[in-house]
């Protein structure tokens, strides 16, 4: 969580830092701050509580601060309430010019209380409640003993337990920014005479598409147009840049009111691009990940590990893989995976799903699987991310940068890869024949156009969302794959519109949940699985007789649902295994328009951040 930026070069740093922070605000928006050093060596630190615009107004978008080197931060609060004192950057002394060290931090320092006690005894005074101030003053403590930045940072890294990405200005090294990381992301972009630091690619995509990834337990010295890397033993490292192929314009709103609605509209392209990357002469091809036919045939079971929407992808993939490929699949919330001592067979495959490739719990689960010698496959959207570097095999979604906190197009692209895996594993293991294999591929190829067609119905959904803009509770129900999609629809509703929303397997309603149904309660039923259709309709009727208002999302042809539901959205016919990719689109639109009707900040919902890089 939190966002870090940095710049050193010939231009004024503050406007670039503010622009980059604006592109990273999805990582946290409780407070923000920047530190800029001018040509006379004077460092100015400005901080503000609240959204980035508060800081921007303080410094006129950065135009009031002069200097060609600086660091910035947008905060998602962990230690200490959101206020100006707890905002970053933090300093080692009482004033920036009296401070040997000025720094910003993303992560959680688990032993900060122990370290703080040591530093207080050494004479340090603390002005905030944050663990970040502890890290900055710890670096200063070691800098006084070992007056070289690399040694001071390395010593601090050895003492800190937890996760961190640090960007640090040393007063004695006027033209350098030092960075270090462990389990929190940090990238560095270099172009002619300029160097940029950021927590995530979109922050600097406008300026350069050639980036370095700072490795785990590594440091970097950043200067104008150059960067040097070191391990924790201060040995210099050689690295190569990674060229990001995302279009810089993809990180802009492009005329849409919000990123979320833009990204909903980008789903057909994300589906098409991702599918094209996995097709070779009309046949599916996952061998670029290193999953060969021999490996596919040897997989005895699959464990899918993910968080949030990616976990919902895993739930849908479980139904599809088990039904098509006949491989047993277990789905775990990543934050729980390590703690229930999972029993994994020698020939198991652990699939980790993450948009950013930096999700802390998913990364920890990956490492747990690898420590047991289990083969791992990652489904990711970001090239070169931490999970990408550590997984045995990687399949990339080609969704492009996703800026809105609530995922849409990345979810859809991940679902598509789940389908591709199911079909390819089934074929390689002889579970389906050539005819069925070609049928599934043909069905997958219809997805982008059918998704495009669904977007044309958005005005009806907007009307319905405005009708229920004052709703307090909503329930989403379905069976099988429909239940998995209901989980995602419910999450979209609660995370951007703040409506209390829950998803249930429809058959579970009578086991307690139906007691919550009262007059006006909104119930959304998802009905794309023919063999389960009548059962789900019966569950919807049970709720209607108790006062619920019914919305249905059904496959075209089930027009009799209008006798039961008060409002119906139809999705195009497709093989039932793949229907979830279409069903989710009206649910995304419903969540989006519900938020808009309530006048909320759709792209930056309260208390949330895009990339969860702390446990």
What is the C-alpha separation between 149 and 511, in angstroms, rounded? 61
What is the C-alpha separation between 430 and 146, in angstroms, rounded? 64
Strand pairing report for 301-306 and 329-333? parallel
Contact 550, 566 (CB under 8 A): yes
Strand pairing report for 242-243 and 210-213? antiparallel
Contact 71, 35 (CB under 8 A): yes
Q: List, in sequence order, every residue forming a beta bridge with 188; answer none if it has no partner.
A: 197, 212
CA atoms within 13 A on the CB side of 383: 15
Residue of 47, 450, 492, 610 marked active site = 610
What is the C-alpha separation between 39 and 47, in angstroms, rounded? 21
Q: Given strand 162-170, what is the order of strands in its sheet?
A: 90-91, 101-109, 162-170, 177-182, 218-223, 226-231, 236-237
Contact 250, 401 (CB under 8 A): yes
2 is catalytic: yes
What is the C-alpha separation between 569 and 589, in angstroms, rounded? 11
In 3D, which of 518, 511, 512 has the Cα closest to residue 546?
518
In 3D, which of 433, 59, 414 has the Cα closest to residue 267?
414
First to last CA, the chain: 10
Write b or e for each residue in 368-392: b if 16 or more Cβ atoms lie within 10 A of its Cβ, otherwise e: bbeeeebbbbbbbbbbbbbbbebbb
Residue of 2, 22, 307, 543 marked active site = 2
Burial class (CB in 10 A: 0-12, 13-18, 19+), 264: buried
Both tokens of 234, joined, read 């201060």
Write b or e for each residue in 218-229: b if 16 or more Cβ atoms lie within 10 A of its Cβ, otherwise e: bbbbbbbeebeb
543 is catalytic: no
In 3D, which of 511, 539, 513 has the Cα closest to residue 525?
539
What is the C-alpha separation between 600 and 469, in angstroms, rounded? 11
List active site positions: 2, 610
């Amino acid at each position: 969580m939190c966002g870090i930026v940095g710049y050193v070069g010939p231009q004024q740093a503050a406007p670039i830092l503010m622009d980059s922070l604006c592109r990273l605000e999805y990582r946290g928006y409780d407070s923000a701050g920047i530190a800029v050093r001018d040509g006379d060596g004077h460092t100015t630190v400005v901080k503000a509580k609240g959204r980035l615009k508060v800081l921007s107004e303080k410094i006129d978008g950065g135009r009031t601060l002069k200097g060609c080197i600086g660091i910035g931060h947008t905060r998602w609060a962990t230690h200490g309430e959101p206020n100006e004192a707890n905002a970053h950057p933090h300093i080692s002394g009482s004033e920036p010019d009296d401070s040997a060290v000025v720094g910003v931090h993303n992560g959680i320092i688990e032993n900060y209380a122990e370290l703080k006690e040591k530093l207080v005894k050494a004479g340090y005074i603390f002005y905030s409640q944050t663990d970040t101030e502890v890290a900055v003053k710890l670096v200063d403590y070691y800098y006084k003993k070992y007056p070289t930045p690399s040694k001071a940072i390395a010593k601090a890294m050895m003492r800190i337990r937890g996760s961190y990405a640090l960007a640090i200005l040393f007063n004695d090294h006027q033209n350098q920014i030092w960075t270090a990381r462990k389990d929190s992301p940090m990238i560095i972009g270099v172009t002619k005479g300029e160097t940029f630091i950021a927590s995530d690619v979109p922050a600097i995509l406008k300026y350069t598409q050639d980036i370095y990834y700072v490795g785990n337990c590594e440091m970097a010295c950043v200067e104008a147009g150059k960067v040097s890397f070191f391990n924790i033993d201060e040995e210099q490292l050689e690295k190569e840049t990674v060229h990001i192929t995302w279009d810089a314009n993809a990180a802009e709103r492009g005329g849409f009111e919000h990123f979320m609605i833009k990204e909903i509209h980008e789903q057909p392209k994300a589906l098409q691009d991702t599918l094209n990357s996995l097709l070779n002469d009309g046949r599916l091809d996952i061998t670029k990940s290193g999953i060969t036919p021999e490996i596919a045939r040897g997989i005895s079971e699959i464990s899918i590990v993910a968080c949030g929407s990616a976990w919902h992808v895993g739930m849908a993939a479980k139904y599809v893989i088990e039904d098509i490929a006949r491989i047993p699949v277990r789905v775990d919330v990543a934050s729980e995976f390590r703690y229930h001592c999972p029993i994994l067979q020698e020939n198991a495959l652990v699939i980790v799903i993450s948009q950013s490739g930096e999700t802390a719990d998913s990364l920890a689960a990956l490492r747990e699987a690898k420590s047991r010698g289990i083969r791992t496959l990652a489904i990711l959207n970001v090239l070169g991310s931490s999970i990408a570097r550590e997984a045995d095999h990687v399949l990339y979604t080609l969704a492009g940068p996703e800026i809105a906190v609530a995922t849409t197009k990345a979810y859809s692209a991940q679902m598509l890869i789940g389908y591709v895996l199911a079909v390819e594993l089934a074929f390689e293991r002889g579970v389906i024949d050539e005819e069925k294999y070609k049928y599934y591929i043909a069905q997958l190829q219809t997805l982008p156009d059918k998704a495009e067609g669904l977007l044309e119905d958005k005005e009806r959904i907007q009307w319905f969302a405005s009708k229920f803009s004052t709703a307090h509770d909503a329930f989403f129900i379905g069976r099988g794959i429909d239940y998995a999609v209901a989980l995602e629809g419910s999450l979209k509703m609660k995370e951007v519109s703040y409506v209390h929303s829950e998803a249930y397997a429809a058959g579970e309603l009578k086991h307690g949940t139906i007691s919550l149904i009262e007059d006006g309660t909104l119930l959304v039923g998802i009905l794309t699985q023919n063999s389960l259709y009548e059962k789900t309709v019966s569950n919807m009727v049970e709720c209607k007789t108790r006062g619920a208002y019914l919305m249905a999302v059904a496959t075209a042809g089930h027009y009799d649902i209008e006798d039961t539901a008060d409002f119906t959205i139809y999705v195009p016919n497709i093989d039932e295994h793949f229907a979830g990719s279409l069903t989710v689109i009206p649910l995304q639109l419903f969540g989006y328009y519900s938020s808009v009707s309530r006048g909320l900040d759709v792209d930056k919902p309260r208390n949330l951040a895009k990339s969860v890089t702390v446990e």
